[in-house]
Structure 1
Amino acid sequence: MPEPSQPYHRDLSFRGFVEGLTYLDESSQPLCHFFGGVPFALPPIGPFRFQKPRSLPPCYRYGTRANPGRFSGGCGLCPQASRQGFDETTWDEDCLQSNMWIPAGEPPAGGWPVFFWIHGGFLQWGSPNSMDLRALLSESPTRCIVVAPGYRLNIFGFLASLDALHSSPDYAVNLGFWDQRMALQWTYENITYFGGNASNITIGGYSAGAHSVFHQLAYDLAVPDEKAIVKKALMLSNGPGMQPKSLGEAQIQFDELLGTLKISPDLSPVEKLAKLRTVDARALIEASTKMKLHQFRAVTDGSFVRHGLFNEISNGHFAQRLKRRGVQLIIGECSDEHFVYGTWRPPKPGYDNMFHRLEADYPLEACRVLISHYFPNGKLPPKYKDWHTAFGKIYADIQIHALERGMINTLVKQGAGHLIHRYRIEWRAACVDKTLPKHWGATHGADLAIWFWGNGNNLSDNEKEIVTKAFHEPLSKFLKGDIMNWGTQHAMQVRTLKGDGSLVIEKDTRLDEGLRLWDALKKIGATGEAKETAKL
């Protein structure tokens, strides 16, 4: 049954006129406004596949007063393989669009705070279309405009080739990150037309979205002050990761893809790229699922991802930039992240299989450190009941627990601790039982019902009280830019929502464990300089 709604119009000045929806409650009162699938860039299709996003030209109009552009659906879904398999009927390479949720009523002086939200999905799958913020913007203390962009994923967003980059001026890498940046720039330039405050933009994301937030923040901190956009950031259930693979390592994956697609290795790099631009989207996705190196992630290109980016954390440059800009960060985790992490393409049992699975995500040198750190004698340690469990916990450590702590500890030592606000979640709402097994506890993604006030599911009155006190009261102030009472005395303390719904400020009991892995990776340079330099 369709949700009750009525058309909602906005005049976007020189960009024309748009029509979205106003969602209504049972009494026909407005809950919030919504625009779905608003383009922020030109379609990256045909010959523009594997190119940087192209900004909308100055003459671009969304619609006219008589015939406004209608945006009541959602973003195009970048072709992808999910846990459920393939559904190419829903795919659309033309995915560079944003969904926008806007509170009802008059905005405050200066406009609504803006929350730029990057969805997760291991950078391989996902979409902003699964969000339902009607209750968040009508019932919770949180009032802001939420801009949630689509961006290119997997092969489409993170295919990398050193040879192609040297040979093809129309080819680029880290396209998913460039898409996000263009969506952020579009938001900065246009959000005032929707009632937002362009001078108060917070970026946030979950899982791979939080990983993306780190890279967007790192990029933003390095641009001149007059081009900076980010005021505050949220990294929910992901850390910085490690220095991405070099372009040389990425070339190995590129060559494996060509072999899987039976594209001749004797072709020139330009010819190989031309072939890839004509391959059907389903064939590309199917080929990726058959590869040994099946995860397409960011690479160190010297452009969006700087060489030695993670050395900037160690040598104090990152902290200095944070302090100079005054960018505050909320960062944290769930207690049982590993249950969901263990489901994403787990390896078959065995030491070698574990190594090769890690190699799909991380630099080879880092994989050697990781396998030695977790399996010093080449066997499954007694603390893991099986290889599947080990994979989930190791993956969660790398993505979240360990490297998050390494970054935080380093920033605190360099005097940026006053900008960091940490949390831990051990509680989950009853509505999560619909999608995640109850015995998984506060696993990865279980807390989206907290941050998004049920995200389309109902919270009980008691649950609303719990999440309001734990996070939404301070989050509301954080987004506004007001002074926030997080409750911690320093950044090494954690604001924890316990399993019984109580809120405590406590010591981080996993700090030493996390720092051991961080230090092990640093010693061998896995978070250091890349060896290849791209000709950009």
Structure 2
Amino acid sequence: MPAPFAQAPEGRLRLRPPARLNSSLGTFDATGIGPSCPQMFFSTEGNLITSLLGNLINTPLFQKATGQTEDCLTVRVHRPADTKANAKLPVLFWIFGGGFELGSTQMYDGSGLVSTGVDQKKPFIFVSVNYRMGGFGFLAGKEVLADGASNLGLLDQRMGLEWVQDNIAAFGGDPEKVTIWGESAGAISVFDQMALYDGDNTYNGKKLFRGAIMNSGSMIPTDPVDCDRAQDIYNTVVREAGCASSRDTLNCLRGVDYDTFLNAANSVPGILSYSSIALSYLPRQDGVVLTDSPTTLAAAGKYAAVPMIIGDQEDEGTLFALFQPNITSRDRLVDYLWKVVFPDLQRQQISDLVDTYDSSILAGSPFNTGILNNIYPEFKRLSAILGDIVFTLTRRIFLEATVAAHPDVPSWSYLASYNRGTPILGTFHASDILQVFYGLLPNYASRSIQSYYISFVHTLDPNGGTSSEYPLWPQWKEKKELVQFWNNKSNLLKDDFRSKSEKWISANVDILKI
């Protein structure tokens, strides 16, 4: 299995910050793909289909088949063949996505990217990190806050970065040339790593990373660890685990057997459900690890300001709007966003947000598809709203904040449109995993983006040595332009679409909390 970077977070170490390994592993075979942390594919509650799937996936047989175990805090390292210990190659540190509920380093083989780097004469080392998810890594509530046990998944990621500093030189890597890269929840985690401890990204006097790439995610405005929504989740987990009568419910959760805790942690709404982006588990400010809401930290410049690439898929929201077929009118759309996603707001506020979006079937997401793909009334408008609030327009607002706070730090941004025409989904959230990460379609989009990224890893500039086949990618602050990627070309796009909606979201970003 890959190398562990922390003690197994089970038994007395469950629901506690990661404990560093202080003893030698001795002779250790690290060539396998390794375990996955416990997953939350589907909730064990909810409608008949998702609850059946959730209970099936939580069975010991399925967990064993997919390598799920609490003893999962490991890193995988891919490097070019015959790399010498003194090679000092730059390092690309991958944080996977999955809504903070599912995902694993098992799913991401970085060898293809490493080979591409070699082919381009820009070799690098690829490192991926496992971290705890769901109730194992992001359980919140006042009991968790009082115990100092919040944001454990972020702390796992941070310890993985520290492992790189301590060990990557032995693999031929340069610990002073680390770029962190993530997709979806992984991209949100990238910004959280920039914002942890008010932007202190040092370890033993050295910077943990020098650059950042965020695919579909940045700052997410959140309520505190002890907010009402988080407390409701905690209370549900406690009840389902049989710990409600305990004097110390958190300690009781640490003591129940694995299957009991897994089923209890997965008894709350999941991302692949009606609740959608109203996540049960995600990073929340605790006053220490995350001192404030990420939007507040970004606006105040309290983050490690490093050169960065950030962008989105054109139709980020379609995947999250598949599960609400009852939303067949404007009023139902308003009620859904108000009651499920933002219950602390006034209904009129949500109504105002909805009215910034064109009600025409021609206007929604998947964008530029005319009268097609509206699988239920309001699907396309809901898709546009969900995609913008979490990803696309929040990205623009984030870039505005970073340029204001740190105007000398360069940033580049993009919009991917290479899957336009895909029925219902368009260029959907996470489709870049196939195009960019794996390059399964060896087209212009995958080749050009990989080339830009690998150049960035080497020089902190996507244009740094990139083939003349690909045009200059201007910094975002110059004219606020995106590179728009297609299957066979790219072009510059003014980053001003849906400006009326952006203006409303920007003015209300501090109250649009999940």
1:50 aligned residue: 15
2:468 aligned residue: none
Of 309, 313, 333, which residue of structure 2 is paired with 1:330? 309
The amino acid of 2:264's aligned partner reads: L
Work out the CA distance in 2 between the residues paired with 1:155 and 1:261. 12
Query: Are the equivalent residues in 1 in contact too, given 2:77–2:125 (CA < 8 A)?
Result: yes
The amino acid of 2:188's aligned partner reads: H
Q: Structure 2: which 5+ residue stretches go unaligned?
A: 43-49, 365-373, 464-471
Work out the CA distance in 2 between the residues paired with 1:181 and 1:121. 18
- Displacement of 1:299 after TM fit? 1.7
Work out the CA distance in 1 between the residues paired with 2:282 and 2:346. 15
1:126 aligned residue: 103
The amino acid of 2:63's aligned partner reads: E
Of 276, 287, 295, which residue of structure 1 is paired with 2:280? 295
Query: Are the equivalent residues in 1 in contact too, given 2:313–2:432 (CA < 8 A)?
Result: yes
The amino acid of 1:80's aligned partner reads: M
Work out the CA distance in 2 between the residues paired with 1:230 and 1:417. 18
Work out the CA distance in 2 between the residues paired with 1:94 and 1:368. 45
Q: Which moved more, 1:219-228 or 1:40-49?
A: 219-228
Work out the CA distance in 1 between the residues paired with 2:269 and 2:201. 41
User: 1:13-412 alignment to 2 at 5 Å?
Assistant: 36-57=1-22, 59-61=23-25, 63-64=26-27, 68-82=28-42, 85=54, 86=57, 87-89=62-64, 90=66, 91-106=68-83, 110-139=87-116, 141=120, 143-166=123-146, 168=147, 172-219=149-196, 222-223=199-200, 226-249=205-228, 250-261=230-241, 263-264=243-244, 266-268=245-247, 270-275=248-253, 277-279=255-257, 280-289=260-269, 295-307=280-292, 309-318=294-303, 322=305, 327-343=306-322, 346=324, 348-349=326-327, 350=332, 351-359=334-342, 364-365=343-344, 371-375=350-354, 381-383=359-361, 385=374, 386-412=377-403
Q: Match of 2:309, SS? A: strand
Work out the CA distance in 1 between the residues paired with 2:415 and 2:137. 31
Which whole-Å deviations, capped at 9, do the CAs of 1:120-177 have from their partners, x for residues lacking one?
Answer: 00111111211233332224536321111111111111111213433x4xx5011111
- Displacement of 1:358 after TM fit? 1.2
Query: Are the equivalent residues in 1 in contact too, given 2:15–2:254 (CA < 8 A)?
Result: no
Q: Which moved more, 1:270-279 or 1:192-201?
A: 270-279
Which whole-Å deviations, capped at 9, do the CAs of 1:389-415 have from their partners, x for residues lacking one?
Answer: 444332211211121111111222345
Identical aligned residues as a percent: 23
CA distance 1:381–1:527, shift in 2 (3 Å)? closer
The amino acid of 2:338's aligned partner reads: F
Query: Are the equivalent residues in 1 in contact too, given 2:94–2:127 (CA < 8 A)?
Result: yes
1:28 aligned residue: none
Query: Are the equivalent residues in 1 in contact too, given 2:112–2:438 (CA < 8 A)?
Result: yes
Work out the CA distance in 2 between the residues paired with 1:52 and 1:391. 37
Of 447, 455, 466, which residue of structure 2 is paired with 1:477? 455
Work out the CA distance in 2 between the residues paired with 1:239 and 1:374. 21
Q: Match of 1:219, SS? A: helix
Query: Are the equivalent residues in 2 in contact too, given 1:37–1:97 (CA < 8 A)?
Result: yes
Q: Match of 1:69, SS? A: coil
The amino acid of 2:496's aligned partner reads: T
The amino acid of 1:488's aligned partner reads: P
Query: Are the equivalent residues in 1 in contact too, given 2:113–2:437 (CA < 8 A)?
Result: yes
Q: Match of 1:147, SS? A: strand
Which whole-Å deviations, capped at 9, do the CAs of 1:11-60 have from their partners, x for residues lacking one?
Answer: xxxxxxxxxxxxxxxxxxxxxxxxx5321111011221111111001x23
The amino acid of 1:298's aligned partner reads: P
Query: Are the equivalent residues in 2 in contact too, given 1:245–1:298 (CA < 8 A)?
Result: no
Q: Structure 1: which 5+ residue stretches go unaligned?
A: 1-35, 531-536
CA distance 1:411–1:165, shift in 2 (3 Å)? closer
- Displacement of 1:103 after TM fit? 1.5
Query: Are the equivalent residues in 2 in contact too, given 1:311–1:527 (CA < 8 A)?
Result: no
The amino acid of 2:386's aligned partner reads: Y
The amino acid of 1:310's aligned partner reads: T
Work out the CA distance in 2 between the residues paired with 1:131 and 1:404. 25
- Displacement of 1:244 after TM fit? 3.8
2:481 aligned residue: 494
Query: Are the equivalent residues in 2 in contact too, given 1:114–1:145 (CA < 8 A)?
Result: yes
CA distance 1:107–1:236, shift in 2 (3 Å)? farther
- Displacement of 1:70 after TM fit? 4.2
1:16 aligned residue: none
Work out the CA distance in 2 between the residues paired with 1:232 and 1:111. 17
Query: Are the equivalent residues in 2 in contact too, given 1:78–1:94 (CA < 8 A)?
Result: no
- Displacement of 1:451 after TM fit? 2.3
- Displacement of 1:294 after TM fit? 6.1
CA distance 1:271–1:243, shift in 2 (3 Å)? closer
Query: Are the equivalent residues in 2 in contact too, given 1:123–1:153 (CA < 8 A)?
Result: yes
- Count residues in correspondence: 457
